[in-house]
A and B are shown apart, each in its own frame.
Chain A
């Protein structure tokens, strides 16, 4: 009974209010809900992939990207957490399937060496993907809107003026670019 614990119910209520405000354009609320979801997701993945903390953070970030790029599928008349954890479960199952396949192809010694390499240099809340590296793989009309709006903090209108693209082209470029970045999380 997940719904029975008062703190969870409380969290659901608080997170959903933040999410609804965030979808309505309240950036601080949206940032707060994504930050809180990141903590919940980290717990979710660590309980299930205890032996691979670095992979957990990849999955946390992949799921956050999915939550963001698919936020139009959240029904505001429904609770938030079942929606988020359904996405998290989907990403976990996809990851497990992918790795079952990869592991079957891998030499076991290689896998062991990978694990060692990962343990050395990873911060607990850092994934292996680097956004500026990933951005380099996108076409300019997706890369520039993301760089200007998401990294430099310009408004969509300012980014449109700077790039000569229309406002809607900037929005579409950001949306498609983030979807493509999300896809890069699963090689």
Chain B
């Protein structure tokens, strides 16, 4: 086929192209994935009994704020990655900042605790299930975000997949805070971060073959 013929073919009847397609794609993916995560949490885990009491504490807001502070730059990262020619810019700094702040809070808490109680602070009561549930709750959004990326045009596939996993993991962690009884920064700094890192790694691993176009 001659290239001129292809150009003519593509242009013929091309019509108008609406402007806000990517915004719509992302809005649907985020809404669908988040609703599915909340439903999954409500069905399989249940909202914790004294959530109302916890919500009034600074520690709960710190935990939820950390997940949001990761989720927002992660969403910015994947929406950029979905457009060819855009750059990550300062987003790595924006993503590292909440993790650094959380680790600092954990270090302060551990430094102030008696040596014999430090391990108990880190492990809490639910360390073994926390990363697993964060990962499980992130899966609907990971799938939705990968599907959204497939409908757009990512050119850095592993990074885009990792970004999708990071965003899904952070929102999964946010949803998990509705169930999770743990409030210590030392706990969150290890197990929430691990729970977010698992879908991030998963996304980075599957990105190069799922996102190819």
Which A-chain residue is minimally distant from B22 (CB atoms)?
A73
Contact B11 A25 (CB under 8 A): no
Q: Write the nearest CB–CB distance from A39 to chain B, whole angstroms.
A: 9
Interface stretch of the complex, out of B2-10, B63-71, B162-170, B197-205: B2-10
A-side contacts of B53, CB under 8 Å: none
**Chain A interface mostly:** helix
B90 at the binding interface (Cβ < 8 Å): no
Known contacts A65-B10, A125-B3, A131-B6; A70 and B17 CB within 8 A of each other: no
Contact B12 A153 (CB under 8 A): yes
Q: Looking at the complex, which one of A30, A60, A73, A125 makes contact with B14 (CB distance below 8 Å)?
A: A30
Count of chain B residues near A, Cβ 8 A: 31
Contact A64 B13 (CB under 8 A): no
Q: Looking at the complex, which one of A30, A42, A87, A126 makes contact with B153 (CB distance below 8 Å)?
A: A87
CB-CB contacts of B189-209 with A at 8 A, as 1s and 0s? Answer: 000000000000000000000
CB within 8 Å of B: which A120-146 residues: 123, 125-127, 129-131
B-side contacts of A22, CB under 8 Å: 11, 14
A102 at the binding interface (Cβ < 8 Å): no
Assembly CA distance A19 to B213 (angstroms): 22
Q: Looking at the complex, which one of B7, B86, B153, B212 makes contact with A38 (CB distance below 8 Å)?
A: B7
CB-CB contacts of A140-166 with B at 8 A, as 1s and 0s? Answer: 000000000111011110000000000
B-side contacts of A183, CB under 8 Å: 213
CB-CB contacts of A107-127 with B at 8 A, as 1s and 0s? Answer: 000000000000000010111
Can you list 22 A-B pairs, Cβ within 8 angstroms, ordered by A? A22-B11, A25-B15, A30-B14, A34-B7, A64-B10, A70-B153, A72-B22, A73-B22, A73-B83, A83-B85, A84-B84, A86-B155, A87-B84, A90-B84, A125-B2, A126-B3, A149-B12, A153-B12, A153-B13, A156-B15, A174-B13, A182-B213
Binding site for A on B (CB under 8 A): 1-19, 21-22, 82-86, 152-153, 155, 212-213
Q: Which 5 A-B pairs have the closest CB atoms?
A: A86-B84, A31-B11, A86-B85, A72-B21, A82-B85
